[in-house]
């Protein structure tokens, strides 16, 4: 133990309230939180790749130990005091981030424990759950395949309903989580969990609502026009009237992606391809090494494993991993590129940054991920990486632009559903959430609810349970990705096979980590503040 380290801890033992030096405070917090974060992340990873009771227990224990440390009132007050006393600008930023991380945990220990335990239980059930079709358990990939390929409306309905059965299993507990999160937020002086979450993520609620309203205005008319044409094609395919179309006719269980009839069906081009190799080749061409990430990852489906996808930075020191359930189609290629877009960000921090600053903001990391994910439908990527014939790529060019616009339209309308639903959930958890859900789906996605259905379909979306108040960052990320794409095209000629684009991303977006606020980072990387204008230009091609 160094003399400086011993001195810091001697002062801390005497009372952290007298510790005024911002650098010492940040170091003290870092030394305390770093090993607990590592243990929590490893346990969280283990519980997702193998959803056993033992792994769930270990995860809950590790997360509670970390939460206990974040709940340290003396340390929190000392950091708050140092920031309030005008800490030097170079040291103020770590203090701001530490306060944001610690604030939600300044609640009763019993409430914290109940939240951690219930979140762990719910996510474990999501990982274990499989829908049932014709008496057989099926995974999400099989459900989506039926919804893309089957011509039988009855089979499609059964598959769609199977995708929602996890909602029945967890709905009561998700509602209880909303109650407990609100109790926590209100004990800290916030309106509800939605408001607290935005505060700790450095998001302004008024600006968020303005941005969502602008996105609604920019997409409402082109989406309605696009969907009207789509519905005619779907009605022809399924030999029914447009008024008879229901959610199971739209390929994705939540209609968050356009069906083949409303885009370009590229799946035949990916059949038999090595999706992971395509992703590796993509990043190598831009100057990013991802082999280490892939070697530590868990990429293919199996029972008892989380069926979704995520990227996690285990230690803020190079141990970055991806969980996925890859099969050979365009969607999973998009997902692999997306998750590795998170991963290269996590590996791109300036080496001189302290541990506290070696993290991403949700908006900017989603921008990176969405920027790369969209390449799976990009003409240049299809030619260079998938090695599609140039003539065939030329024939697809205009349709690919329209498909990209449709993708953004569908996704934006879906984000509007999710954001509005979560605001309603935390505003009044006791309301008729089933009814609220379908009212929003009808309003923003123009879907006709199933006749007489009253089921907790909202609870089948895992983000509502275990990644609350997150979905707006996808929309912000999509907007920023559009802006960054424009900047890269102007400065480097594009992204695919352009190491200069990789250098720009590393220097302007990744290297600063969390050393500057996300909105200033966006302006630095994109050359302009966040604006819906870039999104509006892209969706105009639909």
Same domain, 263 and 197: yes
With respect to residue 111, please indicate whether it lies within any of the assigned structural domains.
no
Mean pLDDT (whole number) for 458-481: 96
64 and 165 both lie in a single domain: no
The sign of the CA dihedral 65, 66, 67, 68 is positive
Helix axes 472-492, 205-238, angle to 10 degrees: 90
Domain co-membership, 388 together with 495: yes
The pLDDT value recorded for residue 314 is 98
> 6-50: per-residue pLDDT in tens?
444 444 444 344 345 788 899 999 999 999 999 999 999 999 999
Q: Of the given ranges (2-16, 378-392, 441-455), which has the lowest mean pLDDT?
A: 2-16
Rounded mean pLDDT, 313-336: 97
Residue 269 and residue 221 in one domain: yes
Condensed to tens digits (0 to 9), the pLDDT of residues 242-280 reads 999 999 999 999 999 999 999 899 999 999 999 999 999
Q: Is 21 part of a structural domain of the chain?
A: yes
Whether residue 362 is found in the same domain as residue 430: yes
Same domain assignment for residues 28 and 155: no
Q: Are residues 142 and 203 in the same domain?
A: yes
| Per-residue confidence (pLDDT) for residue 53, from 0 to 100 | 95
Q: Using an 8 Å Cβ cutoff, are 295 and 408 in contact?
A: no
Please report whether residue 494 resides in a domain.
yes
Query: Over pLDDT 70: what percentage of the chain?
Result: 95
Q: Is the pLDDT confidence value at 88 over 70?
A: no
Q: How many domains does the chain fold into? A: 2
Note whether residue 408 is domain-resident. Answer: yes
User: Which pLDDT value is given to residue 541?
Assistant: 76
pLDDT at 235: 97
* Whether residue 225 is found in the same domain as residue 190: yes
Mean pLDDT (whole number) for 342-359:
97
* Residue 114 domain flag: no
Q: Does 169 lie in the same domain as 298?
A: yes
- pLDDT exceeds cutoff 70 at 72: yes
Q: What is the CATH number of the domain that holds 223?
A: 1.10.1370.30
Answer yes or no: are the C-beta atoms of 465 and 126 closer than 8 Å.
yes
Residue 141: band (very low, low, confident or very high) from pLDDT cuts 50, 70, 90: very high
Structure tokens at 18: 């007298």
Mean pLDDT, residues 159-169: 97
Contact between residue 344 and residue 330 where contact means Cβ atoms under 8 Å apart: no
Residues 327 and 438 in one domain: yes
The pLDDT score that the predictor gives to residue 458 is 98
What region, left, alpha or beta, does residue 288 occupy, with left being phi > 0 and alpha being psi -120 to 50 degrees?
A: beta
The 8-class DSSP code of residue 133 comes to: E
494: left (phi over 0), alpha (psi -120 to 50) or beta: left
Q: What pLDDT does 2 receive?
A: 45
Q: Is the pLDDT of residue 5 over 90?
A: no
Do residue 9 and residue 84 come from a single domain? Answer: yes
Domain that holds residue 60: 3-106
> How would residue 89 be classed by pLDDT, with cut points 50, 70 and 90?
low
């Amino acid at each position: 133990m160094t003399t400086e380290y011993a001195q810091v801890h001697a002062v801390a033992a005497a009372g952290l309230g007298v510790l005024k030096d911002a650098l010492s405070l940040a170091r003290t917090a870092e030394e305390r939180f770093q090993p607990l974060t590592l243990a929590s992340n490893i346990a969280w990873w283990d519980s997702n790749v193998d959803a056993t009771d033992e792994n769930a227990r270990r995860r809950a224990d590790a997360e509670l130990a970390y939460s206990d440390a974040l709940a340290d009132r003396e340390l929190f007050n000392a950091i708050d005091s140092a920031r309030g006393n005008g800490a030097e600008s170079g040291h103020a930023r770590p203090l701001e981030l530490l306060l944001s991380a610690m604030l939600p945990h300044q609640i009763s220990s019993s409430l914290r424990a109940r939240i951690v335990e219930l979140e762990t239980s719910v996510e474990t059930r999501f990982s274990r759950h499989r829908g049932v079709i014709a008496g057989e358990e099926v995974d999400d990939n099989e459900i989506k395949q039926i919804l893309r390929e089957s011509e039988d409306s009855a089979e499609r309905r059964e598959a769609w309903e199977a995708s929602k059965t996890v909602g029945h299993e967890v709905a009561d507990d998700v509602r209880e989580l909303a109650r407990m999160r609100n109790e926590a937020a209100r004990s800290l002086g916030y309106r509800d969990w939605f408001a607290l979450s935005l505060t700790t993520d450095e998001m302004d609620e008024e600006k968020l609502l303005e941005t969502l309203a602008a996105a609604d205005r920019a997409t409402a008319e082109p989406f309605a026009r696009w969907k009207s044409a789509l519905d005619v094609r779907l009605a022809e395919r399924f030999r029914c009237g447009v008024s008879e179309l229901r959610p199971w006719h739209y390929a994705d269980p939540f209609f968050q992606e356009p069906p083949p009839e409303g885009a370009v069906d590229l799946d035949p081009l990916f059949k038999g391809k090595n999706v992971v190799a395509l992703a590796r080749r993509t990043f190598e061409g831009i100057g990013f090494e991802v082999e280490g990430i892939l070697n530590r990852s868990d990429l293919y489906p199996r029972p008892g494993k989380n069926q979704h996808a995520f990227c996690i930075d285990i230690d803020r020191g190079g141990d970055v991993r991806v969980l996925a359930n890859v099969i050979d189609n365009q969607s999973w290629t998009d997902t692999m590129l997306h998750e590795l877009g998170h991963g290269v960000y996590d590996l791109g921090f300036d080496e001189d940054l302290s541990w506290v600053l070696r993290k991403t903001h949700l908006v900017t990391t989603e921008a990176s991920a969405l920027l790369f994910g969209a390449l799976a439908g990009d003409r240049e990527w299809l030619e260079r990486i998938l090695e599609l014939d140039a003539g065939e790529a030329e024939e697809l060019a205009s349709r690919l632009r329209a498909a990209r616009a449709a993708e953004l339209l569908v996704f934006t309308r879906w984000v509007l559903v999710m954001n509005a639903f979560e605001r309603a959930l935390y505003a009044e958890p006791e309301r008729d959430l089933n009814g609220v859900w379908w009212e929003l789906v009808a309003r923003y996605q123009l879907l006709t609810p199933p006749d007489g259905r009253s089921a907790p379909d909202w609870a089948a979306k895992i983000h509502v349970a275990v990644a609350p108040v997150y979905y707006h960052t996808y929309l912000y990320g999509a907007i920023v990705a559009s802006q960054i794409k424009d900047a890269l095209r102007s400065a480097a000629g594009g992204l695919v096979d352009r190491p200069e684009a990789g250098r720009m991303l590393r220097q302007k977006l990744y290297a600063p980590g969390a050393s500057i606020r996300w909105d200033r980072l966006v302006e630095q990387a994109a050359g302009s503040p966040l604006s819906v204008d870039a999104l509006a230009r892209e969706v105009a091609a639909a």
